[in-house]
Every structure is written in structure tokens, then in C-alpha cells.
Amino acid sequence: TQLLEQSPQFLSIQEGENLTVYCNSSSVFSSLQWYRQEPGEGPVLLVTVVTGGEVKKLKRLTFQFGDARKDSSLHITAAQPGDTGLYLCAGVNLGGGADGLTFGKGTHLIIQP
């Protein structure tokens, strides 16, 4: 069973600060997805990274896939209260298939005004 560990589990910072959350595994993934879940709602896909070393930007959010495709990071610049939520990474297992998605347990992020 492939595992994805996310760190930190909880993070509370002030508006305007920068932060990075991590998604790590000892397994190689063919691609990796990042979701954000707000209270009372289902997760929403933010981005998929596919190539080792790939960097994708979504406004103030920067996603990077590790060179070896075993890990990923999410960096938020000048965090805003609207960034508050649970951030989940999900690795697409090599070989894919119907059960080929492994979720991390998530990082709970709170941005205080």
C-alpha cells in the first residue's frame, strides 16, 4: 500500500505571511493532485502535476512535483483568510486503474486576519 504523508498537520498563521506544506512518500507516483476542502464542502481539485520537477502556479499558490516524483510541495505567498481550508494531496499510483489514487491525510490551514 502506497502512503502519502502530509506536513504539517495543522498550521495557523497571520494574513500576509508565506507558508509551505509538504506531501511526501517513499513511493513513485505517475502524477499528483492537490485539492482544497472548505468547511461543509467536498474537496475541489486545484492542480495536477505530472512531470518530475514540474512547477505550476495558481495565482499566489505554487505547486512543485519532486524530481523523483515521490514528493510535492505547495507554497502560498502572502496568505489570505480565503486560503483557509484543508489541503489534500493525492498520488496517482503507477499503473493507474480504478483504485489507483492514494490520498494524504491533509494539512489544516488557518489564515488569521
Partner 1 sequence: EAQVTQNPRYLITVTGKKLTVTCSQNMNHEYMSWYRQDPGLGLRQIYYSMNVEVTDKGDVPEGYKVSRKEKRNFPLILESPSPNQTSLYFCASSLSSGTYEQYFGPGTRLTVT
Select the span of 26-34, 58-66, 67-75, 77-85 touching partner 1 (CB under 8 A).
26-34
Q: Do residues 45 and 33 touch, judged by C-beta distance below 8 A?
A: yes
Query: Which one among 12, 18, 20, 30 touches partner 1, defined by CB under 8 A?
Result: 30
35 makes contact with partner 1 (CB under 8 A): yes
88 makes contact with partner 1 (CB under 8 A): yes
61 makes contact with partner 1 (CB under 8 A): no
Q: What is the DSSP string of 36-71?
A: EE-TTS--EEEEEE-STT-EEEETTEEEEE-TTSSE
Residue type, 1: T
Q: Do residues 15 and 112 touch, judged by C-beta distance below 8 A?
A: yes
85 makes contact with partner 1 (CB under 8 A): no
Query: Which one among 104, 107, 109, 111 touches partner 1, defined by CB under 8 A?
Result: 104
Cα–Cα distance measured from residue 35 to residue 19, given in angstroms and rounded to the nearest whole number: 17
Binding site for partner 1 (CB under 8 A): 30-31, 33, 35, 40-45, 48, 88, 90, 92-93, 96-101, 103-106
